[in-house]
Copies of this chain bind each other. A is one copy, B any other.
Amino acid sequence: MAFSLKIALAQMEVIPGRPDLNTRTMLEMIGQARRLNADMIVFPEMAVPGYLLGDTWEQRAFLRDCEEYGRRVVAASEGICVLFGNVGVDWDRIGDDGRVRKYNSFFAARDGRLCGGDNFPYPFRVKSLQPNYREFEDDRHFYSLRKLALELGEKVEDLLQPVVMNVAGNELRIGCILCEDGWSEDYSFKPMAAISRNGPVHLFVNISSSPFTLGKNNKRNRVFSRQVKDACVPLVYVNNVGIQNNGKTVFTFDGCSTVYDAGGRTVACCPPFSPVLEVVDLDLASGGAGLSPVGVPDDRDTGSIYRALSYGISRFLPSIGIERVVIGVSGGIDSAVSASLYTRVLGPDNVLLVNMPSIYNSPTTRRLAEQLARNLGCPYAVVPVQGAVEFTIGQISRTPVVNLRDGRQFSLGVTPLMAENIQARDRSARILAALAAAFGGGFTCNANKSEMTVGYSTLYGDQAGFFAALADLWKHQVYDLAEYLNRQVYQWEVIPREIIGLVPSAELSFDQAVDQGKGDPIVYPYHDYLFRAFVENWNRATPEDILDWYRRGVLEENIGCRPGLVKRLFGSPREFVEDLERWWKAYTGMAVAKRIQAPPVLAVSRRVFGFDHREAQNGPYFTSRYLELKKSILGCSQGQ
């Protein structure tokens, strides 16, 4: 194919569930591309409806609406190829759930007409590989090309024909694929290879709606580059920006739309988290070889985490109508990082910081909380809770409980642990919730992932809030983020160094007195990594794996913590086992109940609590091989 193609990468912000707004954006971008003399404009997957919509897909009125807006996009394709994602509906067939059949579809339009219906049952292309892992549940909503092939009695490979479009007198053959179709490594079936066999193909276009995950772009570049080299055909990858959520979990979309030349080199890359229209001149004769390779930003560092979090906060808050927040600041690291992040996004006047001391809060942390508020320039209030907590304890323990039938009477006692939880709930459900309403906003949950994993928090207490922006960060990542905020974002010590140096503590009792170096029962330099193996390992680690690694001396290496740490922490195998069982029971026991009622979490890792971490409240379990291992390690005297 001996001509140059001017392609506009439309890295738009997709608003989920708003075909009206998305179509307006698309029509504007089409106009812009036309003014730039682009031959083709490429929008992301599900650009019209958005992707993460829950069961909105079951509303026929919504589907009709998406079709209607899709027609408007097609109508706007006069003189330009418009490639975009939308739901494709077959009103005459049903899906496996008995509802009208929906496809996750790729539309290609030109001069007001859809292309591609000549060699396919529909005038649009259909996703072959539908992800059903992590936050994805494509099979719940959409009928895949694999199922369609089975139904038609055809080979799925035969259905994967290029779409032929006429561009400036040339017959351009495009390999149209949707997101996961480019990630075929784990599937028995490879869509790009199948289309290539039905070639020639001049250009691959992958439209995606792919959430940000730490390190995912690095992997994508490896995976896509290899396939492009195999096919020897350039690839245009367009991903949206914005945020979308599944209720319990909020995902950012970083865009990072990329052009790969036929040699697999990245020759264009849109900036992360920015809505942009970028035009690339692709010489199809050389497969784009004339373009200079561009570097792609690393997405594995703390800077990427900061960008994802601040972007996520900046987009999520307006999406739910929140402009101001209240943050409880204890003088500890989590609330300090939270306050610094939100202040950066909303401006100091929209962030009310509140310190709520009881008798257990040290002068040190109270001073540091105040210092933080001064540094950030936020409005600040001190609301002591000691009086109210004592009132509640008194009210509970003095109230007579009576059986009115037989006159039996008793009263209830409040233990120190109960008093700790009363304190935590007093702060959040009594003070912060009321203050947030009065301030005209919401109050944040400052929990980190280490706490969330084992439920080291109080329900309706410090676990409460409208949004948990840090809850996908292990404690050590929170520290890294604190350093990054000081060094790179604020460029001065807005988070006092003393806060970073303080022993982590909930300060709910004198057993957690920071000034005596006492604090949390979680030893973060070890437990962060143990918990990560439970939660984030693709093949989830369980006590059986951990104990096996411990026995074989490869635990630190396998979970990634500092060498020598395990020996220093645990004097004996028995201590090691007790610690392991304690936290496994917490993670799979009470912590599940707490997570069920936890706020939405902002995702950054490859396994985030909420919808990406499906769990049942089934209680802890130890496999039979774990029990054997334990017995052999602790000696035969041990029962199960």
Contact = CB atoms under 8 A, between A and B. Distances in A.
Given A20-B624, A374-B404, A430-B429, A185 B246 contact: no
Interface centre among A96, A147, A464 (most CB of B within 10 A): A96
Contacts of A140: 132-133, 137, 614
A414 B430 contact: no
A370 B370 CA distance: 48
A100 B431 CA distance: 49
Interface string A431-452: 1011101110000000000000
Interface stretch (A62-70, A255-263, A571-579): A62-70
Contacts of A431: 392, 395-396
A380 B401 contact: yes
22 contacts: A16-B618, A18-B618, A56-B615, A59-B541, A64-B623, A64-B625, A146-B146, A147-B188, A150-B188, A245-B616, A246-B616, A247-B592, A247-B617, A320-B619, A321-B619, A393-B434, A396-B435, A396-B438, A412-B438, A414-B434, A421-B433, A425-B430
A247 B609 CA distance: 12
A403 B377 contact: yes
A317 B430 CA distance: 28
Contact of A352 (B65, B401, B429): B401
Q: Give the 7 A-B residue pairs with the shortest CB-CB distance, closest first.
A: A429-B429, A98-B186, A412-B438, A54-B615, A61-B544, A17-B618, A54-B614
Interface string A314-339: 00000111000000000000000000
A627 to B, nearest CB: 9
A269 interface: no
Nearest to A61: B544
Interface in A360-413: 370, 373-374, 377-383, 388, 391-393, 395-397, 399-406, 408, 410, 412-413
Contacts of A33: none
A68 B627 CA distance: 14
Interface string A542-553: 101100000000
Contacts of A149: 150
A381 B401 contact: yes
A97 to B, nearest CB: 4
Identify whether the interface residues of A are mostly helix, strand, loop, or mixed.
Answer: mixed
Interface stretch (A116-124, A472-480, A561-569, A594-602): A594-602
A597 B445 CA distance: 12
Given A320-B619, A434-B414, A538-B98, A189 B150 contact: yes
A533 to B, nearest CB: 11
Interface of A: 16-18, 20, 50, 52-56, 58-62, 64-65, 68-69, 94-100, 129, 131-133, 137, 139-140, 146-147, 149-151, 156, 185-189, 244-248, 250, 319-321, 348, 352, 370, 373-374, 377-383, 388, 391-393, 395-397, 399-406, 408, 410, 412-414, 418, 421-422, 425-426, 428-431, 433-435, 437-439, 459-460, 464, 466, 538-542, 544-545, 592-593, 595-600, 613-619, 621, 623-626
Contact of A55 (B61, B65, B185, B613): B613
Given A54-B615, A379-B401, 11 more contacts: A56-B615, A60-B545, A96-B132, A250-B617, A348-B403, A377-B405, A396-B435, A412-B439, A422-B433, A466-B593, A596-B600
Contact of A399 (B50, B319, B383, B625): B383
B65 A625 contact: yes
Contacts of A593: 320, 466
Contacts of A381: 399-402
A164 B410 CA distance: 66
A436 B617 CA distance: 20
A392 B56 contact: no
A96 B402 contact: no
Contacts of A464: 460, 597
Contacts of A18: 618, 621
Nearest to A419: B434
A148 to B, nearest CB: 9
A464 B460 CA distance: 8
Contacts of A246: 614, 616
Nearest to A616: B54
Contacts of A466: 593
Given A98-B538, A186-B98, A401-B352, A418 B437 contact: yes
Contact of A614 (B60, B68, B131, B247): B247
Contacts of A60: 539-540, 545
Nearest to A377: B405
Contacts of A379: 401-403, 408, 410
A370 B595 CA distance: 35
Contact of A52 (B189, B402, B616): B616
B460 A435 contact: no
A44 to B, nearest CB: 17
Contacts of A438: 396-397, 412-414, 418
A418 B402 CA distance: 33
A620 to B, nearest CB: 9
